[in-house]
Structure 1
Amino acid sequence: MLSFLKSAVWPKSGFWTVTQPYQHTPVADVFGSLDKVFKLPGEQITSDPLSKVYKVTAAGKVFYVKRYTGGGKGLRRYIGRSRVRAEWKNLLLFRRLGLPTANLVAYGEQKLLSMMLKGALITEELENTIDLSEVIEEYPDYLTDRNWLLPVIDQVAWATRVLHAYRFVHNDLKWRNILVSRDKTNPQIFLIDCPGGFRWFGPMLQYRIVKDLACLDKLGKYHLSRTMRMRFYKLYRGNSLTHRLTSKDKQQIRQVLGFFEGRE
């Protein structure tokens, strides 16, 4: 079916947007259209069945170009919001909610009827950052340094609380998807890579919230003390550090701790 649609003579539609800070700059010339972006040379960083990420230097800066060749899995391949559209919309949402994230440079997609043919989004490199999972290998001493660890935990708790208060769940809130600056005295976190994030309502919202918290604790339970994990949870709940856990808190904690049981 896919090959038939691509070979048939159907009208194609699409758009490409360069965000305001980069318009009328040399960067806009480099990333001026979707076709141009797909022809750019660059260093391939990662790949999966739907997309590839390239590191590209332009106008003296480093950018990450994520090129999609599929809209998603199953029916999402043909109808509904494509994965690339979800990812750029979520980055824009983070910005509206006041959450630190990478600067979105350009984004867009091309469709054939309702099926996405290709799409891309470009972000500017967050200099001197590392993802939290890499901290374990490269800077293990940071995880026992309260001067570094406390502000990182506090920021992650705040960002997660803001998302969930908006009824938005990340759906892949793992350490690898949180960047942190290498500044040991004043670390700053950034949320990245969120194509699966979505707003939920009702019982499914609570289930997805537990999943987000469990994703964070997947590495947290091995590399953070119980005290630090409890600090995160209390701040995430909007409580003081001296607050006594309620029965509802304890129930949610049990759900978080048991979420990945038998699946790791």
Structure 2
Amino acid sequence: MRFWWVNRQHPASEVAELFGDIDRVFSLDGELITSDSLCRVLRVSAGGRRYYVKRYSGTGKNLQRRWLGLRRWLGSPRVRAEWRNLQAFRDWGIPTATLVAYGLERRFGGFTRGAVVTDEIPATCDLAQLARANDSRLRDRCWVAHVARQIADMARTLHDHGFAHNDLKWRNLLIDGGSLPTAYLIDCPSGAFYRGAVLQYRIAKDLACLDKPARRLLSRTQRLRFYLDYAGHARVTDDDRKRISKIVNFFDR
């Protein structure tokens, strides 16, 4: 059984030819960006545009996460979660990459392979790259405040919907080159909906992932301002203090 979708509204004429079915996508050559036992990411250029092709051909990185081989039949494939999560981001008004094509293939009911193709967001760089390069923009308080407010809004929107990203790290946040830049949220194959105490734990993890590199690069005042923007509060409440303690100590436990 195969399921495959192509964005027929996409303006580029080469989309149907390049990404028209799963066999074509898995036969593509391009610049290798990342590769592991679960998936390979290629950057493909055509018609003056660049596309990211994420190809999944496994069900987990180790035996435990594959549920002793049962995940192929019982679990929801990560590739499906990835395209659904990107669709949700767009529905919620979160800037993200445009879906070009996606789908998967099953045999005898078990997942065998799948792929997600997205447009490149031009003239962007992820926050982790800026941090490694010690980019001067991270020392510009106005620039940092503008970007941080957008990321706080993104995180609050996710969490208000009962959704946790589960990999909300700086590498998954793209920033364009504008004087008032736009932030984009990408790559979310492990995000999911939760409830109750599990959701609160996942929220703390998301915020801790954002705060971990911020400790080295931003001031305490900037980090607190981010949290207040996220919480929608003018001042820190007693509940805020408890949550902040969980966030800053999350990776120490």
2:128 — aligned with what?
133
Summarize the alignment of residues 175-214 of structure 1 with structure 2, pairs less than 5 Å apart.
175-183=170-178, 185-214=179-208
Q: Offset of 1:27 from its aligned partner?
A: 1.4
Matched residue type, 2:8: Q
Q: CA deviation at 1:133?
A: 0.7
| Structure 1 runs of 4+ with >6 Å offset | none
Tell me how far apart the structure 1 counterparts of residues 47 and 5 of structure 2 sit (CA, whole Å). 19
Identify the match of residue 93 of structure 2 among 80, 95, 98: 98
Deviation readout 1:195-230 (Å, 9 max, x if unpaired): 000000011000000000000011011111001100
Mapped partners of 1:51, 1:137: distance in 2: 25
CA RMSD of the aligned region, Å?
1.4
1:259 to 226, 238, 250: 250
The alignment status of 1:29 with 2:17, answered yes or no, reads yes
Output the CA distance in 2 between the equivalents of 1:23 and 1:136.
Answer: 34
Tell me which residue corresponds to 2:219: 225
Distance apart, 1:24 and its partner CA:
8.6
Structure 2: gaps of 5 or more residues? none
Determine the structure 2 residue equivalent to 1:8. none
- Classify the secondary structure of the residue corresponding to 1:15: strand
Matches within 5 A, 1:127-166: 127-166=122-161
How far residue 23 of structure 1 moved from its aligned partner, in angstroms, is 7.8
* Partner residue, 1:250: 241
| C-alpha distance in structure 2 between counterparts of 1:179 and 1:136, whole Å | 12
Q: Percent identity, please.
A: 46
Q: Which residue of 2 aligns with 1:18?
A: 6
Trace 1:117-128 onto structure 2 (pairs within 5 A).
Answer: 117-128=112-123
Return the match for 1:168 from 163, 167, 170.
163
For structure 1, the 5+ residue unaligned runs are 1-12
Is the partner of 2:50 in helix, strand or coil? strand
State TM-score, norm by structure 2. 0.93
The question of whether the paired residues in 2 share the 8 Å contact of 1:171 and 1:196 is answered with: yes
Q: Which entry has the higher C-alpha Rg, 1 or 2?
A: 1
Shift of 1:25: 3.1
Partners of 1:71 and 1:84 within 8 A in 2: no
